[in-house]
Amino acid sequence: MARPVAVVTGATGGIGSAISRLLSADHDVVGLYHAADEARRREWTRACGSGASLLQVDLLDSDATLELTQRLAADFQPVLLVNCAGVTADAMFRRMRLAQWEHVIRTNLLALFATTQPIFASMCEANGGLVVNIGSVNGVRGQAGQCNYAAAKAGMHGFTMSLAREGAGYGVRAVTVSPGYTDTNMIAALRDDVRDAIRAQVPLGRFAAPEEIAAVVAFLASPGGAYITGADIPVNGGLHIA
């Protein structure tokens, strides 16, 4: 019997790779990645196994992305979509350039239309499916120097809540998972003193492992998570407690 198909955007990033690897245990994973991530392609394919495939797309090209996801929806009828692609372009708002604002909003928020609409429509027709949007603790609490990123991630959860209401009658769920600071290349690239200062803010005293974010996504996709929709699941070590 054919295995269910999961589509993961930003699949070769630190969190996206962990999600793809964990889901590949019981899904055929189709990962979407950007050309800038080409060096990670072979490692991802080896880790995710023969049932996984990577497709290259620039999410800033809405027409190309929409064409791709329409094809995926028609050919594979995915039961799970994980929107994990994201970028940062940090600056204090009074010095932020319009190009920095637009790049982050277009990649992290506007691209959700093209990555999600065809697959969501296919899920509704099939009467079942799950969309998981990877948000951020800073979309909930805000962060100086990240007005663009925080706005995009906050908007993402508004999208999740509305999608959950639209999909519920068709058995389709939508959930946001909002990580705190996670031990990825982005954190590793920071100066030691900056990294230590960030870690000191976290009540649990450490960064999340990418696998811990992936485990929450896998739970949501399991029978145990079947009654969760419209929620924002925090995975932040206590950095923000609501």
CA distance 204 to 130: 30
- Of 42-51, 72-81, 210-219, the one with minimum mean pLDDT is 42-51
Whether residue 179 is predicted with pLDDT greater than 80 in this model: the reply is yes
Asked about 181 being catalytic, the answer comes back as no
CA distance 210 to 112: 22
- Per-residue confidence (pLDDT) for residue 55, from 0 to 100: 96
The DSSP 8-state label assigned to residue 240 in this structure reads: S
- Per-residue confidence (pLDDT) for residue 2, from 0 to 100: 84
Instruction: Please give the share of the chain, as a percent, with pLDDT higher than 90.
Output: 91
| CATH code given to domain 5-233 | 3.40.50.720
Contacts of 76 (CB under 8 A, 6+ apart): 5, 7, 28, 30
- Per-residue confidence (pLDDT) for residue 170, from 0 to 100: 98
- Per-residue confidence (pLDDT) for residue 50, from 0 to 100: 86
Whether residue 213 is predicted with pLDDT greater than 90 in this model: the reply is yes
H-assigned helices in the chain: 14-23, 41-48, 62-76, 98-105, 111-126, 138-141, 147-167, 185-188, 192-201, 210-221
CA distance 113 to 135: 15
**Which uninterrupted H or E stretch holds 201?**
helix 192-201
Q: Tell me the one-letter amino acid at 20.
A: S
Q: Which of 149, 170, 181, 227 is catalytic?
A: 149
CA distance 86 to 1: 34
- Per-residue confidence (pLDDT) for residue 242, from 0 to 100: 84
- Entry field: residues in the chain: 242
pLDDT tier at 209, thresholds 50, 70, 90: very high
For the whole prediction, is pTM greater than 0.85?
Answer: yes
CA distance 115 to 156: 13
- Asked if 6 contacts 27 with a C-beta cutoff of 8 angstroms, the reply is yes
Q: What is the pLDDT of residues 13-72, one digit of tens each?
A: 999 999 999 999 999 999 999 987 677 889 999 999 988 999 999 999 999 999 999 999
Q: What is the pLDDT of residues 111-163, one digit of tens each?
A: 999 999 999 999 999 999 999 999 999 999 999 999 999 999 999 999 999 99
Average pLDDT, the chain: 96
Domain borders along the chain are: 5-233
Tell me, rounded to whole angstroms, the distance of Cα 201 from its chain centroid: 24
